[in-house]
C-alpha cells in the first residue's frame, strides 16, 4: 500500500464574479493558491449563489491569484461558450493550502494538488489530468467553499505494467 501525502485546502466561503476579480475583496487573492471557476445563479431573495456547476480548476504558485485568474487561458473559451447556453454567471472561489504533510510547499506539490482535484472532480473545461493522474499519491481534504467540489479527493498514479 502506497503512503499518501496529505494536503488540506481551505476554500473561501464567498465568491466573486470572474469579471470582478481585479477589484474583488475576496480573501487570499493576493496570495498563491488554487481557484475554481463555477457557473452559478445569484438568488437575490436569498442573497447567495446557487445552482453550481464546476467549470475549471487552476492554480497560481509563482504569482498571486489576482494576477493569474484573469490571464488568457484556452479553457476560458470553453466556459464562456458553456455559460452562453445558460443563465449562469462565472464566479470564482479561491483555496489556500493550510496544511500539508510535504514540506516545503513547492510548485510540484501545487501541480499535483491541482491535477488531483481535476481528476477527482472532473471540471467541464479542464483537459489535462481528467483521464489520468500521474502525480504523487495524494489525499486532499477540501474545507469550507461551495459545492460541487468533493470534500475529499484521493489520487494515486496507476502502477506501471511489468
pLDDT averages per 10-residue partition of the chain, 162 residues: 88 93 95 97 94 96 97 92 93 96 96 98 96 96 89 89 62
**Strand, coil or helix: 96:** strand
pLDDT at 8: 97
Per-residue pLDDT at 162:
58
Model pLDDT, residue 147: 81
Query: Rounded to two decimals, what is the model's pTM?
Result: 0.94
Where does residue 149 rank: exposed (0-12), middle (13-18), buried (19+ CB within 10 A)? buried
Query: What local confidence, expressed as pLDDT, does residue 161 receive?
Result: 66
pLDDT for position 130 = 96
Burial 122-147 (b: 16+ CB within 10 A, else e): ebebbeebeeebebbbbbbbbeebbe
What integer pLDDT is reported at residue 149 of this predicted model?
93
Using the structure block, give the residue that is written with the C-alpha cell 500539508.
Answer: 100
Amino acid at each position: 500500500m502506497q503512503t499518501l501525502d496529505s494536503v488540506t485546502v481551505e476554500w473561501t466561503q464567498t465568491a466573486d464574479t470572474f469579471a470582478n476579480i481585479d477589484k474583488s475583496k475576496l480573501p487570499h487573492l493576493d496570495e498563491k493558491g488554487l481557484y475554481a471557476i463555477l457557473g452559478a445563479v445569484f438568488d437575490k431573495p436569498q442573497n447567495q449563489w446557487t445552482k453550481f456547476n464546476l467549470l475549471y480548476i487552476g492554480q497560481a504558485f509563482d504569482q498571486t491569484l489576482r494576477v493569474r485568474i484573469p490571464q488568457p487561458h484556452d479553457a476560458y473559451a470553453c466556459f464562456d461558450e458553456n455559460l452562453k447556453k445558460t443563465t449562469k454567471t462565472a464566479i470564482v472561489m479561491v483555496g489556500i493550502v493550510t496544511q500539508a504533510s510535504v514540506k516545503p510547499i513547492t510548485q510540484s506539490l501545487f501541480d499535483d494538488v491541482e491535477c488531483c482535484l481535476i481528476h477527482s472532480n472532473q471540471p467541464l473545461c479542464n483537459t489535462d489530468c481528467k483521464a489520468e493522474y500521474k502525480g504523487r499519491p495524494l489525499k486532499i481534504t477540501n474545507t469550507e467553499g461551495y459545492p460541487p467540489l468533493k470534500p475529499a479527493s484521493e489520487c494515486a498514479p496507476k502502477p506501471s505494467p511489468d
